Amino acid sequence: MSQERSFTSNLEQVSLVRHELANQIEEMMALLIEAEAKGEKASGKLSLDREIKQLQATCNNLRHSKFRLLVLGDMKRGKSTFINALVGEKLLPSDVNPCTALPTILRYGAEKQVTVYFKDGSSRTIDLAKFQQKYTIKPNEAKVLAERNQLAFPNVDYAAIEYPLPLLKKGLEIIDSPGLNDTEARNELTLQHVYNCHAVLFLFKAVQPCTLNERRYLKNYLLGRDLTVFFIINAWDEIKQGLVDPEDSEELRLAYP
Ligand SMILES: Nc1nc2c(ncn2[C@@H]2O[C@H](COP(=O)(O)OP(=O)(O)OP(=O)(O)O)[C@@H](O)[C@H]2O)c(=O)[nH]1
Ligand SMILES: [Mg+2]
């Protein structure tokens, strides 16, 4: 939990730095505008209008643009559970079976609502409970979908959950993704968000760290991209459960016959 807190405060730090940079660029801009105004009355302008516009655009970008954090990982690494813990609300569906069916963007909104974006360009707004219940992979269909390399919702591109959380108000967008290496079709669905994010949070599981499939995904899709990738090893409690209790003579006897 303390790591989650420090991660959250790092993100807050990013937001602060962006605002500080924007303030400094604004000061530079004000100097240039003043210099141009003075120059116009004296020896003539330096024609810095284009540069001033560029600075203005950078400034707006720093103040208003989003920081998109994509959470990736093989199936059932605890991606959705981790994001729910990070934001402190159970927004994303999670389950012991393959569950997340769609890339799902979590972003700030004054009202709680979910918008489902379809591949034909249309969208539909639904409430959170309906999203959690409808847009998941049902346990009985997971195997068939995997065998046929099919998507649970072939007409849907992604979903966006808007929620009034202070953490998200700072411009942070967190993207949950379906488990990788499950089906190629699902990998493809996630890939467009790899191209369009600022950083990746890649989850491993402590009891099964870095499988061949994970190595393959990292090499094929993330290596060589100009992306910041954070690695998280999740579910340490499962390691603890597997340890031998030195106080338990029966466990000791079975472990060291
Ligand atoms: N013991 C333990 N269980 C966890 C932990 N994190 C998640 N889980 C459980 O692992 C299961 C899978 O969690 P999800 O959050 O659905 O995993 P996911 O990676 O989002 O799964 P997909 O989206 O289907 O790929 C759930 O039953 C969670 O309760 C953890 O740190 N420890
Ligand atoms: Mg999930």
Ligand number, closest to the Cα atom of 180: 1
- Cβ of 81 closer than 6 Å to ligand 1, yes or no, is yes
CA of residue 19 to ligand 1 center, whole Å: 35
Q: If you compute the radius of gyration of the chain from its CA atoms, what whole number of angstroms results?
A: 24
Atom of ligand 1 at shortest range from CA of 74? 25
Beta bridge partners of 39: none
CA atoms within 13 A on the CB side of 233: 10
- Amino acid identity at 154: P
- Amino acid identity at 237: D
Query: How many domains would you assign to the chain?
Result: 2
The tens digit of pLDDT for each residue in 159-211 reads 999 999 888 887 889 999 998 865 677 788 888 888 888 899 999 999 988 89
Q: Does 251 map to a domain? A: no
Task: Supply the pTM of this predicted model.
Answer: 0.79
In terms of domains, do 56 and 138 share one?
Answer: no
**DSSP tag of 154:** T
The tens digit of pLDDT for each residue in 3-42 reads 556 666 776 787 788 889 999 999 999 999 999 999 888 8
From 37, 64, 91, give the residue that closes a domain.
64
Q: Does 248 map to a domain? A: no
Pairing mode of beta strands 113-118, 156-163: antiparallel
Q: Does 252 map to a domain? A: no
pLDDT at position 2 is: 59
In terms of domains, do 133 and 229 share one?
Answer: yes
In terms of domains, do 110 and 209 share one?
Answer: yes
Q: Does 257 map to a domain? A: no
CA distance 110 to 165: 9
Q: Does 249 map to a domain? A: no
Q: Contact at 8 Å (CB) between 116 and 156?
A: yes
Token readout for 45 is 């302008």
Token readout for 251 is 């466990």
Q: What is the domain range of residue 26?
A: 2-64
In terms of domains, do 53 and 93 share one?
Answer: no
- Cβ of 145 closer than 6 Å to ligand 1, yes or no, is no
Residue 155 has pLDDT above 90, yes or no: yes
In terms of domains, do 74 and 56 share one?
Answer: no
CA of residue 96 to ligand 2 center, whole Å: 10
In terms of domains, do 164 and 223 share one?
Answer: yes
In terms of domains, do 112 and 46 share one?
Answer: no
